[in-house]
Structures are given as C-alpha cells and as structure tokens.
Structure 1
Amino acid sequence: MKNTGQSSTSTEQLQSHIEKLQTQFDELSAKLKWYEEQFRLAQQKRFGASSEKTDPNQLDLQLFNEAEVLATTEEADAHVETITYSRKKPSGSREAKLDQFPVETIVYQLPEAEQVCYCCGGALHEMSTETRSEIKIIPAQVKVVRHVRQVYACRHCEREDVHTPVVTAPMPRPVYPGSFASPSILAHVMCQKYVESQPLYRQEQQFARLGLPLSRQTLANWMIYGAEKWLSHLEERMRVHLLRQDVLYADETTLQVLREPGKAPQTQSYMWLYRTGRMGPPIVLFDYKRTRGGEHPRDYLQGFHGYLHVDGYAGYHKVANTTLVGCWAHARRKFDEALKVLPSTEERKGTVAQQGLQYCNQLFVVERDIKEKTTEERYAIRKERSKPILDAYLVWLCQQRARTLPKSAVGQAIAYSLNQWEKLTSFLEDGRLEMDNNRSERSIKPFVIGRKNWLFANSPRGAKASAIIYSLLETAKENQLNPFQYLNYLFEQIPQLSDVTNGEKLDRFLPWSTSLPDVCHITKS
C-alpha cells in the first residue's frame, strides 16, 4: 500500500511537471513566433516595397459578391463582342507650357554682303524662318538695394524765418530694422529650409559660393525674428478660422530640441498638426510642444465643436465637445503587416490576415466610388453599401478574436479594430467625413522630410518659429500659392501696417484671401 501510494504521487508529480513544461513550451513557441514576425516585418520595412496596394484580384469576398458571381445577364448576346482600348490623351504642345515665361529672342541673319543668290547673283529676300526654343536658367544672384530718401527744406524760410520746415520723402519700413535682411532674402531662406528641406549650414555654403558671407547663426536669427515679429500674427488669425470649422484633422510626430530646459538633448519633443478637411478654406497649422500629452490638443482646440479625425492615440480623448473619427488606413495597415510577416513558404490566400485585409478593401472600394459625390450622396451610399460590410466585419472580428493569439501580428490587427470600433464607424454619421486620417498624414509629411535633413531644432524658440513658418508655407501650398512670392509679399506689406493685431486687416493677407495679388498664385500652364 505504501509503495502504491508513492507510485501514485510520483505519477501525479510527473504529470504536473509535464503540463508545466508544455505550458512553458507553448509560451516560448508563441514568443518565438512573435519575434519571427517582428524580424520579417523589420526586414520588409527595410528592404521591401512600401506600397500597401492590394492585387485587384484579391479584393472580392464571396460574402459580398456572391450575387454578382453567380448571376448571368439574360439579355446578353453571345454573338456580340465588345472590344475596348485606351490611349494616352495628348496633353497639348510643349510650346504651350512655356507661354507663362518671358521670351528672349535671338535673330540670326546673313550679312548684307552675303544676301546674294549664288546661282544668278540676284538679291535674296526673306522667304521664311526656322525657330527652336530652349529653356534658359538664370542662377541666383545677389544684389544690394540701397534705399535713399530725399530730405527737403525751404530756401526762403532758411533765409528769412527762424524755423525752417523739413520734409522727408516717405520710405517703406524695413522688415528687420538694423540688419541687411530684405523681404526677398527672408522669404528665400525660409523657403529653402522649410519647402526645399535645405538646412541652414548648406545655405551658408551656397551664399559663400556667391561671395556673400552669411553665417548660419545670422540666418537662424532672421528666421526667428521674421516668424515671431510678423508671421505669428497671421498664424494666430488662421487658428481662429480653424476653430470655426466643423470637421478637423490632427496628427503628431517627434522632434528633437537640443536646449530645452530640464530635458536632455536626446529626449523627444513633439510637433502637432491640425488642419481642415473637405469644407472651408484649406488651413494647416503646426504646434510645437515638449511632450505628447493629451492636454496639448485639448488646449489648442479649445472652443472647437465637431468631428476630429485622428489615429489610435488615446490622448485625443481629452479634447472636449468632439466626436473622434478613426482611421481605417491604420486598421488596414495592421492586416497588411500581418500578411507580410507570414513566412515566404506559407500560403497567404485564405489566411485570417488576408480576410481582414479584404474587409478593409471593400470599404475603400466604396469610398473610391463616392469620392466625387455630394455630401448627401456620400452619406446615403455609405448607409446602403458600407454599413452591411461593417456589420459583417464586426461579426468576423468577434469570431476570430477567440481563435487567434493576442500578441501575434494578426491578433493585434483584430484587437486594434475592436478597440477602435466606435471611432472607426463614426464616418457613417456625416458625408463630410472621411474614412482615414491620410489628409493630416500628407500634411505632416513635409515636416518629416525636412526633419531628416536638418535633424533637430537648437532651442524652443527655434522650434516654435519652425512651427509658425511651416503653418504659413503649408497652408500657402494648400491654397495653390507660390511659397516664395507669398512670403515676399507678406514681408513687404505687413511691416507697413499700423496695427499688426487687427484681425480684419490681417485677413486680407491670409493664404485663401481674394485680395492677394496675382504674383502670389501659381501660374497654371
């Protein structure tokens, strides 16, 4: 009996040990699979194509197109064959594209002594001409402009009176008193850095090659002064107009600022973006902050009431009086990444990742079809076509969640859609809304590209100035303005205002104002 008891106890211990080892094995296998997925995803991001487009042949789900697949058209005539083809539409002559530019004409003539017929010796006359056109580039040139104004006095009063009146000719106020900075060079340096992504040290070298010694410190001071003294008033006015809209977009990205008080140079700060949507004037605003806290969009958007397109970041929940609209591009990207991390030897067709991707694709097909529709039509078609897809997708998500490892790539994709479901379905409420937050991601991309070139901001003042300048330039681009000509116009005109805080006067200089001169607008060929 004693031996039997010991044997039974030993068997139970072995069984418990086996179960424990099996649990550890399952956990390690799941962890190994996760690391393999992360490795393949990192390899794909580094070496693979960045496009997230799906093969059109993979768009169909039997769930949605069963009727179309099985149905036949009774009226179709088997003896009628329809042949279609496409060809590139002529875009107009090359000469027409050059009409907007000044023309320099060079005429080549025979010397008068050679205008004699080599056959009979008679005089030659002009029969026709042959013409070719070339594009000539005039490189940047530096020119000094001296502003000299005359001072006048009365000779009679000089001789006869005790007091002699003196009259001085009017002269425009300078954009930066006490410096060599002109409106054009301020506009040029800003556009080179914030539109063309040329860091100040490269511009310093370019000016040196032109024979003009300008240090990057001088250029930086010019940028900060121009932004704080003049452009900041326009940026504040643009924010007033932004908060009046019903639909906005928001996004954020990192920024390194070297000399932030109380922070190490290696720590990250953030550049926040807010912009308008389909309705109202195009407005793009940047806001520099030290952290990613949700209090920043809450404070910046204080007074706004309406819909706010965002990504999955929870900080936007602090914005009051708003309905958050989620981003289906992010939801779709999760399944796209889950599909890409599958081993190359594994069949992708019919996988959970592909099924989730197809549900998202079906929604985007609807959006592509209603892109040019009116607000009312978009709302009605979404209720008719997108709502059934969403209902089926939600059922599928709930089914798959119980069958999928939570930490796997496809498990995280499913969890994202379920966690964001309320925001992801908000676009059904209003035809003005969009399915994704791509509009703000496109607007923040110029900053991200510029950051790769100039890497960091030296100080909080510099970061704030950059936010102001980016706001003006990106909004100008959205309103089809020439960035250089627009900034040059601002720096010429705004210093002449008696009150730069007057909202009505500043509105005449906003990028969508009809009062802007033609030179500020991009000439369309």
Structure 2
Amino acid sequence: MEMSQAELAAHCEKQDKAITELTQNMNRLIEMIRLNNHKKYGSSGDSVSYPDGLDQLCLFNEVEATAQKGVPEPTFEEATAKTPRKPKQKGKREQDFKDLKVTVIEHELPAEQQVCPVCDSPLHDMKVEITKTLKLVPAHFEVEEHRRHVYTCRTCEKNQGEGDKIPFVRANMPNLPIPGSFATPELIAGIINSKYTNAMPLARIEREFDRMDSVRISRQNMSNWVLQCSEEYFSKIYTHMRNVLLSKDILHADETWTRVVQQDSRDSKKKCYIWVYCSGVHDEPIIYYEFHESRATESAKEFLKDYSGFLHTDGYEVYHRLEPGITVVGCLAHIKRKFTDAIKALSPEEQKKTVCFKGQEYCDYLFHIEKKYKDATPEERHNKRLTLLKPVMDAFLSWLKETKPITVPKSHAYEAINYALNQWPYFENVLLDGRLELTNNLVERSIRPFTIGRKNWVTMKTDRGAHDSSIVYSIVQTALANDLKVYEYLVYLLKQMPNTDFNQHPELIEKFVPWSKELPANCYKTKN
C-alpha cells in the first residue's frame, strides 16, 4: 500500500527526529567516554591557558585598560632577549642554617707534621677554611627518669608522741599529660605529628618505632593516648575555636566523606562526613573540622544556627537552605570546572570550536581582572569590582542566557551552562564586600590533608575516634595555617595545659590557641 505525500513527509520527519535524538545520545556518550578517560589517564587541574592570549573575549578596549603613559618602549635587544635566569640569593644557606645547632669539627695537622716541606722550619696556623654541611640525625628514643625527692623531719621523728604524724614533704613535679602513663609530651606530639600532619597510619608508626630502637608501642596504646589528650586538652581549644569562628563576618565551608567501621558498637561501613569551616583571608587563620553521620541539611544547620554573615560554598544545595541571616557566596572555580571538564579530552583546536571554551574564557578573564588588584585593600577591591568585574559578569550572564536555548539538552555544555545560571544568584554576591573571594579554594585546600590521610588509613574505627580526629585535625591544620612548627607547638600544649587550672581561669585558653601572640618563639617557623 502506497503512502500519500503527507504521510511520507510525516514519516520522514519522524525518522529525522529519531536520527537527531540518536546522534545527540551518541555524542553525549562520546563526551562521557572522553571525560572518563581523561579523568583516569589525563592530567589533573582546572587551569586551561588561552591559546591566543587574554584578548580572546574582546569585551572591552584592552588598549585603554592596560596602557601606561610615559613608559619607554623596550629596545630590540630587550624585546628579543631570553628571560634571564634568576640569580641565586646570596647568603641563603647561612639564613637557612642560622637556627640549627652547630657542631664544630676541627681538622688540624699533628704537631710532628707542622714542619715546612721545603726548609723544615715550623709552620704557623695562617687561616681556617670553613665548609658547612647539613647532617640529619634520625629520631631516637631516650628515657627520662624522674626522681621526686621526699623529705621528712628528724626532730619530729625523735619527739614523736602517740598519735603524732610525721610530716612528709615532696618536691614539686610537673603533671604529665596522662597520669600513670610513661608517655611524655614529646612522644605523644611525635605520634600526632606523624599521623595528622604527615598522614602516617598508626600501624606504620608502630613498625617504625620497632625499627628505630626496638621499642614496641602498640597502635592501641597510641590511639588511647591521642584520644585522651584530645578530650582532656585539645577539646578546650577546639571549643574556643568554634566560638571565635562563628563571630567572624566571613566563613568558607565544604565537606568530604569518611567511613566509620563501628557505630553504636555494631559493625558498619556507613559513609559519614567531615565538614570543614575556615575563616576568611582577612582574619586570623582558623580551620575547623566537624564530624557528622550524614551530609544532610541538619549537619550544617547545627553548626551555623547562630551564625550571621557571608558563607563561601560550592553548589551543594544544603547551603542554600540555611538561616536567612546567612548570605551564600558562590564559587567561580566550580563554575569554570564544569566548562573545563567538558573540553579537557579535546585537542586545542577542537576546544576552540566548542561552547564550553567560550565559557571557560569568561571565567579566566574574570580571574585575570581580579588578579590585578589582589593586593588592594578590601574597600579598593570592592570599588574595582564594581567598575571592572561587574561589566564582565553582566556580559557573561547575558551569554549564558542566550546560549542555553541553542545548546543540546543533557550535553556537558548544557549542564555547564545550566549550573552557571543556577549558581549565579550566589556568585554575584561577591560584589557585596571587598573581603570576599571569587572562589571557595581556601577551604578546599584545607580539606585536602584529610583526604590525603584517608587514602592511607582508609577508615575510622568508631564515632568517638572520628570526632576526636576532627579535634586534632583542627588543631594541627590551624597551627600550620598560622606558620607554626606543629611538633613544637604540640609539645608546648602537652607540657603547659596539664599544669594550668582552667576551672579557675578559663580565659587562659587564649594563651594556647594557634594564633596566640603568647606562644614561645620555638613554636614558630619564622617568629614575627
């Protein structure tokens, strides 16, 4: 039976739609395969350089923006000369070695050899040639034997009557971190530094101790010491950190997963979460880790229930459902990442032909403008953003709105554009205050030490251990952010805090926080 012309046209149209849909699905699958292969085998990082320079966008007249009147033109030799190698800094070795212990080793001729080889006359010491070398002294164990003298009165002994007590007076001895334990502040600090700064699991530390001096300390003992010090001493700093952090105008927030083997004394491998909060770049550095069993809204609300201010976040929807007093600030790095991910697996020439390349260019141009006034005051930065950054942001937003309807649905380009449009109401809040950042990279850098450690120790055993690890991570990472020597700082805490009465003087906790100005000089990498 022959089809009519109208039926044939409808059939052809139906077939065309099916072919178009199949082609779109095929292209989407090819995109997914390319991206997955790049994630597995390609280089990491979000940075995609401009093949033809920063003038790709041609949004504004870069000539007026970059011109500097009165600057002389370089000579031909200067323009064509290769970039000179940076000269070595004089005295750098002496500067690096200045705080190290020096052991002097004299090399002298024996007296019988101090004779002139020509005339046999005595030689005199003319000068000393100095060669400095750097020696590594491996860690080793030492035993401290505390001898606490006890005194009594001979006279009272002689004159002792019935019922009289002979007085005994003991010499003072500092309290140890864990009463009844042989663990010193130095030993506990070394264990914490290895695990939480250098990401070494306790099992490896146990084996290393055995190799060093055949000292066998079980990982269970080490774990107990860390837990006790965390709950007895570090928790006081941790609580104070939280109160100070929530008093700030600007915070950064992010979260990452972890697994807990046992929950409520039952075997479990439930995926739990570590939430991380940081102070802004214009405040003293504070990095706060908090353990929660879930990634739900309640976890963020519990910490931020009394907070009012700006909160830098990624695009996770939970942050957009917080209290009205919180102004969420979106992240340009996450917007850019959606575009760069879609074209990472393409060649440079193929990238230029894509919609995502244009979106990535807009993001890079915004970063380029921001970098020009990175050293400005917050007030100056706020004004510069309104005059220089906002027009580019407006152009970017217009391009996103114009491009979305003509982009293939469900493609990576469509998803990137849609993500940028959804995040735009939060990202544009960066224009409200000059202290805000274009990205949430600050907290992402702070969360990385935990993710590196997670690759080594894989899981946490209990909820208690996860909570106490959050406390120790907070202390250690905040110490690093404040340019402290973690080991020296921990030794100081474990020596001083057991001998401080916080019940009578709770204000003394401010002496021990990582940003305190009262820390001893040996705690700093470079004392201000």
TM-score between both structures, scaled by the size of structure 2 = 0.92
| Per-residue deviation, residues 289-317 of structure 1 (Å, max 9, x unmatched) | 11101211111122211100000001012
1: CA distance between counterparts of 2:264 and 2:11? 56
Secondary structure at the aligned position of 1:458 is classed as strand
Structure 1: runs of 5 or more not aligned: 1-5
The reply on whether 1:118 has 2:117 as its aligned counterpart is yes
Which residue of 1 is the match for residue 342 of structure 2?
338
1:265 CA displacement: 3.5
RMSD: 2.6
Residue 408 (structure 1) aligned to one of 394, 407, 411: 411
Deviation, 1:279, is: 2.2
Q: Does the 8 Å CA contact 2:153/2:167 hold for their aligned counterparts?
A: yes
Q: Choose which of 198, 203, 206 in structure 1 pairs with 2:205.
A: 203
Question: 1:144 and 1:72, CA in 2 relative to 1: closer, same or farther beyond 3 A?
Answer: closer
Are 2:147 and 1:148 aligned?
Answer: yes
Hey, what does 1:296 align to over in structure 2?
299
Q: Secondary structure at the match of 1:287?
A: strand
How does 1:389-408 map onto structure 2 within 5 Å? 389-408=392-411
Distance 1:76 1:294, change over 3 A: closer
SS in 2 for 1:239: helix
The within-5 A match list for 1:510-521 is 510-521=513-524
TM-score (normalizing by structure 1): 0.92
Task: Please state whether the residue corresponding to 1:250 is helix, strand or coil.
Answer: strand
1:83 aligns with 2:83: no
Structure 1 position 61 matched with structure 2 position 63: no
Q: Which amino acid aligns with 1:329?
A: A
Change (3 A) 1:116 1:456: same
1:158 corresponds to which residue?
157
What does residue 438 of structure 2 align with? 435
* Kept in 1: contact 2:521–2:527 (CA 8 A): no
* Distance change (3 Å), C-alpha of 1:77 and 1:297: closer
The letter of the residue matching 1:128 is: K
Matching of residues 414-425 of structure 1 within 5 Å: 414-425=417-428
More displaced stretch, 91-100 vs 386-395: 91-100
How many corresponding residue pairs?
Answer: 518
Counterpart CA distance in 1 for 2:67 and 2:478 is 51
* Distance change (3 Å), C-alpha of 1:375 and 1:121: same
Match of 2:177 in 1: 175
TM-aligned CA deviation for residue 82 of structure 1: 7.7
What amino acid is aligned across from residue 457 of structure 1 in structure 2?
Answer: M
SS at 1:357 equivalent? helix
Aligned to 1:232: 235
Distance, in Å, in 1 between the alignment partners of 2:194 and 2:475 is: 14
Q: Residue 249 of structure 1 aligns to a residue in which SS?
A: strand
Higher mean Cα deviation, 221-230 or 287-296? 221-230
Q: CA deviation at 1:169?
A: 1.0
Once residues 406 and 250 of structure 1 are traced to their aligned partners in structure 2, the CA distance between those partners, rounded to angstroms, is: 31
List aligned pairs for 1:336-375, cutoff 5 A.
336-342=340-346, 344=347, 347-375=350-378
Contact 1:331 1:413 in 2 (8 A): yes
Structure-2 residue corresponding to 1:467:
470
Q: Which secondary structure state, in structure 2, belongs to the residue aligned with residue 279 of structure 1? A: coil
> Do the aligned partners of 2:276 and 2:443 also contact (CA within 8 Å) in 1?
yes
| CA deviation after TM superposition for structure 1 residue 69, in Å | 9.4
**Residue 264 to residue 155, structure 1, CA distance change in 2 (3 Å):** closer
Q: CA deviation at 1:485?
A: 0.5
Supply the distance in 1 between the matched residues of 2:123 and 2:482 (Cα, whole angstroms).
56
Query: What's the offset of the Cα at 1:89?
Result: 4.0
* CA distance in structure 2 between the partners assigned to 1:52 and 1:58 by the alignment: 17
- The Cα shift of 1:138 comes to 1.0
3-state secondary structure, aligned to 2:352: coil
Partner residue of 2:257?
254
Deviation sequence 1:452-485 (CA, Å, 0-9, x none) = 1111111111111110000000000011100001
User: Aligned partners of 2:69 and 2:333: how far apart in 1?
Assistant: 40
Cα contact 1:326–1:426 (8 A) shared by 2: yes
Answer whether contact 2:238 2:474 (CA < 8 A) is retained. yes
Are 1:494 and 1:500, in contact at CA under 8 Å, matched by a contact in 2?
Answer: no
Shift of 1:40: 0.8
Cα distance change of structure 1 residues 493 and 69 upon mapping to structure 2, 3 Å threshold: closer
Gaps of 5+ in 2: none
